[in-house]
Homo-oligomer: A and B are copies of this chain.
Amino acid sequence: MTAVAALLQRSGRRILLATFAVAAIGSLLVPEPFAFGQTSADESSPIFGVKIPAGYRQWELIAPSREAGSFDELRSILGNAISMKAYRDSALPFPDGSILVKLAWKQVPSAEFAEAFVPGHTTTVQVMVKDSKKYPSTGGWGFGRFIDGKPVDETQHQTCFACHEANVKEHDFVFTRYAP
């Protein structure tokens, strides 16, 4: 074996090892199955540092809702496995690790069925993350409000907890009930 051939062989092994290492790390970094049609967001919310969680669009439905008035939106609230277990067990407060995501769309009349309304363009994605150590002053919840995957400003995030505290303190600061 020439010196060049030996060098190539060693390099080859290194490349192969590096390839395996990258693949192995990559597989660890993908916590959820492929999620289509959802905005990924690396940016976190002001005040709370909450991000849009990976794979949330595949989460289980807690309930739909509608916001009339100027919002004029259809909404769906999804929960991760930890939060769904709490709903199942009717166990409040929600345990740390619970995450709720509210998706919102402008409601538009269906072109195919009279009196039906369907989702139009997406408006906001809103996230609540339970971490009682990280968010002791806001009921254990961190909040994130996103438009097109970007968090809205700090002023808007200052309003989240006040409203939840004023209206649903007795339900661990969560509006949404499970719709059977």
Name the distance in Å between A130's Cβ and chain B's nearest Cβ. 19
Stretch at the interface among A3-11, A15-23, A72-80, A152-160: A72-80
**CB < 8 Å neighbour of A117 from B60, B68, B112:** B68
> Is A40 an interface residue when CB atoms closer than 8 A count as contact?
no
Do the beta carbons of B68 and A36 come within 8 Å of each other? no
- Return chain B residues, CB-CB under 8 Å to A34: 88
Taken together, the copies of this chain in the complex come to: 2
A82 to chain B, nearest CB (A): 15
- List A23-81 residues whose CB lies under 8 Å from chain B: 34, 36-38, 57-58, 60-61, 63-69, 71, 74-76, 78
A78 contacts across to B, CB distance below 8 A? 61
- Whole-angstrom distance from the CB of A166 to the nearest CB of chain B? 9
Closest B residue, CB atoms, query A70: B115
The closest CB in chain B to the CB of A64 belongs to B64
**B residues less than 8 Å from A67 (CB atoms):** 115-117
A99 at the B interface (CB under 8 A): no
Q: Contact between B76 and A65 (Cβ–Cβ < 8 Å)?
A: no
The one of B76, B115, B118 that contacts A76, using a Cβ cutoff of 8 Å: B76
Contact present for A58 and B57 (CB under 8 Å):
no
Q: Does A107 contact B (CB under 8 A)?
A: yes
A65 to B105, CA, bound (A): 10
Q: List residues of chain B with CB within 8 A of the CB of A110.
A: 65, 175
Given A66-B107, A107-B66, A178:B37 Cβ within 8 A: yes
Give 7 new A-B contacts, CB below 8 A, not counting A68-B115, A113-B175: A37-B178, A57-B60, A63-B118, A66-B66, A69-B115, A113-B167, A119-B179
